[in-house]
Amino acid sequence: MWCVTPAERSGLHAYEVVLKHIEAGILAGTHRPGDQLPPERDLAVQLAVSRSAVREAMRVLQTQGLITSSTGPGRGTRIAPARGDALARIFQLHLALSDAGTDDLTETRVALERSSAALAARRTNARSLRKLRALVAGMEEVEPVDEFNDLDTAFHVQIARTGQSELIADLTVAIRQAVREAIRTASASLPDWPQHRAELLHEHQQILSAIEAGDSAAAANLVEQHIRRAYSTLGIAGPAEARDQD
């Protein structure tokens, strides 16, 4: 099967011909996770490119988490299941280079986490509630900025996972990772970290209660207020705009 027409080939680097061929198969659904790709030499012959062009294309696909390679009998190169961490890494690099200001990041985080929290309140179960409670209990115990921040991140990620929307969870993780360093630095230089920590803890407890109660509207509103209040205290976002979804 040819996924790239001769007209499309002109102007492309050889490795891009290979890349577009594989990508077209993924987008069309003919390449599914677990499917084995032809050996390097066969692909080179099939697409009339050099083996090094095939190898370069495989590097690209591998870095994007779209294929996995392993050696040994019956292994080879296969289409990978989608991996949130590969997407998160690329997302983070883009954020580092983008003009997306903290306001933009804040609005995106609020949009995604309102939804996560609302879904979590609807779809929670005993196991995920135990995890959320353990994280809040952990935050009650620890004082230092870095340890507290790690539990804070884990709490927000666990809410997203509880909501059972993998896509929202992956995006939440990516954005939370992208702002992690900024939050850490700002937290460390607060004049009154114990006060900020106490507010964060109280907010997390309230969010947990709303999720436990299955009150999705309250969970969404509390998460939004929490994110905006924290960013404003940390000075890493402009003044909060009117909260029209409350």
Chain residues binding a second copy by CB under 8 A are 13, 15-16, 19, 23, 26-27, 29, 32-33, 52, 55-57, 59-60, 63-66, 79-83, 86-87, 90-100, 103-105, 107-108, 110-112, 114-115, 118-119, 122, 163-168, 171, 216-217, 220, 241-242, 244-245
Give the residue with the Cβ less far from a second copy, 27 or 198.
27
| Residue 61 CB, nearest approach to a second copy (Å) | 9
| Residue 237 CB, nearest approach to a second copy (Å) | 13
Give the residue with the Cβ less far from a second copy, 99 or 192.
99
Pick from 82, 85, 80, 62: which is nearest to 170 by CA? Answer: 85
Helix (H) or strand (E) holding 243: none
Give the residue with the Cβ less far from a second copy, 112 or 234.
112
Are the C-beta atoms of residues 26 and 66 closer than 8 Å to each other? yes
Torsion of CA 193, 195, 198, 202, to 10 degrees: -130
| Residue 49 CB, nearest approach to a second copy (Å) | 13
| Residue 167 CB, nearest approach to a second copy (Å) | 5
Rounded-to-integer distance, Cα 183 and Cα 11, Å: 44
Question: Which letter does DSSP use for residue 36 in this model?
Answer: B
| Residue 218 CB, nearest approach to a second copy (Å) | 9
Give the residue with the Cβ less far from a second copy, 75 or 130.
75
Are the C-beta atoms of residues 192 and 157 closer than 8 Å to each other? no
| Residue 225 CB, nearest approach to a second copy (Å) | 14
Rounded-to-integer distance, Cα 64 and Cα 44, Å: 21
Q: Return the residue matching tokens 């921040």.
A: 149
Residues contacting 101, CB < 8 A, separation 6+: none
Give the residue with the Cβ less far from a second copy, 65 or 200.
65
Question: Which letter does DSSP use for residue 68 in this model?
Answer: E
Give the residue with the Cβ less far from a second copy, 80 or 230.
80
